[in-house]
């Protein structure tokens, strides 16, 4: 039964955030179903996202609404039993074993290459672009790829190991622009098939296996957007793999989204609908995992660039949605709108960052010059 006081409780929570229920400003929430209030009070962040998917509420400027919520750390004020259970599970079990790690590939990355082609840039980059001198998404992603190559000090003939290669854009770029030989690991069949075709005439080997199975010795190791998926119980394993495969004088670049606090799980809505068993690492978790394996050479934060990248993706997604509407349906549209724009709010609130970290191996005496 609807609790008539629950609306006032929610409005009392929103008041310090400058959000009004059924207000007139772009970030004011418009509630269509009176059951919404009790639903989010009992269900927390998961219920907020699911009730949006169910059309129980709308807001014109969703990214700014989420920005207001996250700036005040509202998610810490409504904690549900399900959230507590998730935290307990993540601390007891390794949520990213070899078998569990394939779930996100099947549910998210294997949606279909045509869908991602319409949303992303021409190089199919599904990580943050570098907007320092870029005028559009294509430029931002090309500048990101070149920034990575320069930070790795790539030279012609270098053998590079890529752990988690997406659709092969970086591998292709390193081979074409820097004359490198690249071996890349990925568990998404859709991405692997695309990457193999993309790089078929280049010295690039795409392997459909988990990063933990990587073999060989390489001049450089790079991992772009993988660390967010592997869970804190596997951070040390990632460092061990990079160390095992890297020559003594080599460099390892890690590109990852990061959080300002250490956690063991992710937002429950993101976990259920977008990135199963994912988790954003903290500075402490990464540095602890690297201790004993690597020397930290450079830590570059350009998290504000992710807001621009996500808004560009959302613009492309919205523009091309009519091509996919009959296949995926309205609930999928609302799910992706909530995903992309809530992430915009996340980065706008500085609750998440984007880090590029350069490591050298223990014992490496070469001097490293930071590049921006």
- By three-state DSSP, how is residue 51 classified? helix
CA separation, residue 33 to residues 36, 52, 66, 253 (Å):
6, 11, 20, 48
* Contacts by residues 104-107 (CB-CB < 8 Å, ≥ 24 positions apart): 104/229, 104/275, 104/276, 104/277, 104/278, 105/187, 105/188, 105/189, 105/191, 107/276
- By three-state DSSP, how is residue 167 classified? coil
Token look-up 């294509």 returns: 138
CA distance 34 to 39: 9
Query: What is the DSSP code (8-state) at residue 107?
Result: I
Query: What is the DSSP code (8-state) at residue 106?
Result: I
How many other β-carbons are positioned within 10 Å of the β-carbon of residue 371?
A: 15
Spell out a b/e string for 294-323, using b for 16 or more CB atoms within 10 Å of the CB, else e. Answer: beebbbbebbebbbbbbbbbbebbeeebee
Would you please indicate which residues are annotated as catalytic (active-site) residues?
343
205 forms beta bridges with 183
* Contacts by residues 81-88 (CB-CB < 8 Å, ≥ 24 positions apart): 82/43, 82/44, 82/46, 82/268, 83/44, 83/45, 83/46, 83/268, 86/265, 86/268, 86/271, 87/264, 87/265
Q: Would the CA dihedral through 197, 200, 204, 206 be positive or negative? A: positive
Structure tokens at 165: 């290669």
């Amino acid at each position: 039964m609807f609790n008539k006081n629950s609306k006032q409780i929610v409005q009392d929570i929103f008041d310090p955030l400058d959000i009004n229920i059924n207000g007139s400003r772009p970030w004011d929430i418009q509630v269509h179903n009176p059951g919404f209030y009790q639903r989010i009070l009992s269900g927390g962040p998961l219920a907020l996202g699911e009730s949006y998917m169910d059309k129980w509420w709308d807001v014109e400027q969703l990214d700014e609404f989420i920005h207001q919520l996250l700036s005040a750390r509202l998610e810490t004020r409504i904690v549900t039993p399900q959230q507590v259970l998730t935290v307990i599970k993540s601390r007891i079990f390794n949520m990213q074993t070899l078998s569990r790690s394939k779930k996100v590939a099947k549910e998210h990355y294997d949606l279909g290459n045509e869908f991602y082609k319409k949303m992303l840039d021409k190089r199919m980059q599904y990580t943050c672009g570098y907007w320092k001198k870029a005028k559009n998404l294509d430029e931002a992603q090309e500048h990101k790829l070149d920034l990575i190559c320069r930070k790795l000090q790539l030279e012609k003939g270098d053998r590079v190991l890529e752990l988690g290669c997406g659709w092969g854009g970086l591998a292709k770029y390193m081979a074409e622009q820097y004359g490198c030989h690249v071996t890349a690991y990925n568990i998404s069949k859709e991405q692997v098939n695309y990457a193999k075709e993309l790089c078929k005439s280049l010295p690039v080997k795409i392997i459909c296996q988990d990063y933990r199975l990587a073999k060989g010795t390489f001049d450089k190791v790079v991992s772009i957007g993988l660390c967010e998926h592997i869970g804190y119980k596997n951070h040390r394993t990632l460092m061990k793999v990079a160390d095992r495969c890297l020559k003594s004088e080599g460099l390892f670049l890690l590109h990852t989204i990061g959080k300002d606090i250490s956690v063991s799980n992710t937002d429950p809505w993101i976990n259920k609908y977008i990135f199963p068993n994912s988790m954003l690492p903290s500075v402490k978790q990464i540095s602890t995992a690297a201790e004993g394996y690597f020397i930290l050479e450079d830590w570059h934060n350009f998290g504000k660039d992710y807001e621009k990248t996500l808004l560009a993706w959302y613009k492309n997604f919205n523009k091309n949605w009519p091509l996919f509407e009959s296949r995926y349906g309205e609930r999928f549209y609302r799910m992706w709108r909530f995903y992309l724009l809530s992430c915009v709010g996340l980065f706008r609130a500085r609750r998440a960052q984007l880090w590029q970290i350069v490591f050298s191996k223990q014992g490496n005496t070469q001097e490293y010059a930071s590049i921006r």
